[in-house]
Amino acid sequence: MKYQVYVLILLIFASCQTRNNGEPDTAIVPIRLEWDKVVDELDYSSMVEDSVLVIPLETRDDCLIGEMTKMVYQNNLIYVSDNVSKAIYVFDETGKLVTKLRAVGNGPGEYLNITSFVVRGTDIVIYDHFASRLLFYNAKGEFIKTEDAKDVWGMDIVSLGDKIWFVNDGGRLERGFYHLFSVNADKAGEHDAFLPFQDPGEQGWGTDDYIAPLKDEALFYYFPFDTLYTLKDNKAYPSYVVDFGKKRLPQQYIHADGRTALKAAIRDHYIGGVDRVVQSDNYIFILFSDCIDSYTAIYDKRTGGTIITKDLFNKKLGDLALQLNFRYIIQDENIIQYYPIEHWNVQVEYGDPTIIDKQELYSEHLRRQYREFQQMDGTECNPVVFIQKLKK
C-alpha cells in the first residue's frame, strides 16, 4: 500500500554546559506516537526525487569490507569504516576505491581501534577510544597529527565548526560525569564538558548510534533514550521528547539494571526507547522496536504531522527497505543506504529470479544493474550504495 507522508517538529535550542548558559528559549517539543494509526508498510518514493544513484563499491584483495560500521557521504566521496579490517575506505561516485586508510598499532600515527570517525574538509579524523586519542589524516590517508583525548570520551563523534564533539550515555572520568565533550581541533588541549549528570551506576543500557548531524547542528540522545538534544553554536539542550505512550517501558524497569529491563521489555513487548535517529531539513526519522516489531516514526518539521510504519520501503527500488540492520544516513538532503549483494543472490538461489522483470523500477538501467547483481558472488563482493535526493 502506498502512503503520502509528510512529517515532524520545530528544532529548538538551549544550553546546559558545565558553565550553565541559562534556560532554553522555548519549550521542549513533544513527539506523541499514536498507536492506533500505525501502518504496516509505507512506500517513501513520493518523498524523494524520481531517480537514484546506484554505486557498487569496488571489490579487490586489498579492499574487502567485512562489517561496515559507519558511512559518510562528503566531497562527492563515500567514506566507509570496516570493523573487520580496521580500515577506512574512500570511494568515488562510480564506486572506485581512491584511498585506503589502515594504520593499526600503538605507534605514532597508528590506532588500536576505530571507535568512530568524521571528515573535516578533506581530512579524516579517527577517534580511538582504546588509546584515548584523535588521529588526523589527509585525503591521501597520510598522518597529520594526534590530539590527546584522555579527559573526554564518547561512543560517537561529530564535527561541527572548529570542534569535534563526543557523545556518551554515561561513564566515569576524573573530571566528573558528563554526557557531552568537545575538543577544539585547531587548539590542542582546549576541551570542554557539557550536560553533567549523577553517577548512573551499573544499569547496562546502551545503543549503537547516538548522533544525527545536519549541516551546522546535530541531534543526539542518551539513556533513557526518549529525549532528543540539539547541539548548535556551542550549546546543547533538550529540544524534543518522544512520547511512546502505553508501549513505553515502565519507570520501575527503566531505572532497574539492564538485564531486568530487557526481560520486562521482551515479556510484555515494551519499547525501551529510541534506537536510532536520522534527520534532514524537513524530516526526523526515529527508529525503535518492541522486541517483536521494528518501527520508523517520521516527523515533518513543517507541519508537525507524524506517521508510524513497520515497513519503510521504496517501490521503485524493487521494494528495498530502509531498516536498522542495513544502516542508512541522511546527508546533504540525500538518503544514503547500502545493501549486500546477497540480497539479489537469494532471488536466484531461493526465490524468484524473474522478480526483477515484474518490479516497477526507476529505469531499465537499474533493472539491468539488478540482473548483474543476481549473478555476482555475494559472499565475495562489497556492498552496493544507493543515494536518493529528498524533495524540498
The predicted-structure confidence for 146-184, as pLDDT tens digits, reads as follows 999 999 999 999 999 999 999 998 878 888 899 999 999
Residue spans of the domains in the chain: they are: 29-341+377-389
Can you give the pLDDT at residue 17? Answer: 32
Phi, psi of 177 (to 5 degrees): -105, 115
Can you give the pLDDT at residue 268? Answer: 94
Low-confidence ranges of the chain (pLDDT < 70): 1-26, 200-205, 324-325
Element spanning 349, H or E: helix 342-349
Q: What is the pLDDT of residues 173-215, one digit of tens each?
A: 888 899 999 999 999 889 999 999 887 665 556 777 789 999 9
What does pTM read for this prediction?
0.89
Which residue in this structure is represented by grid cell 575538543? 183
User: C-alpha angle 164/166/167, rounded to 5°?
Assistant: 145
Can you give the pLDDT at residue 26? Answer: 65
CATH of 29-341+377-389, one of 3.40.50.720, 2.120.10.30, 1.20.1050.140, 3.40.50.300: 2.120.10.30
CA distance 369 to 115: 34
CA dihedral of 279, 283, 284, 287, whole degrees rounded to 10: -100
Can you give the pLDDT at residue 1? Answer: 36
Can you give the pLDDT at residue 202? Answer: 57
Can you give the pLDDT at residue 171? Answer: 79
Can you give the pLDDT at residue 200? Answer: 63
Cis amide linkage into residue 224, ω under 30° from 0: yes
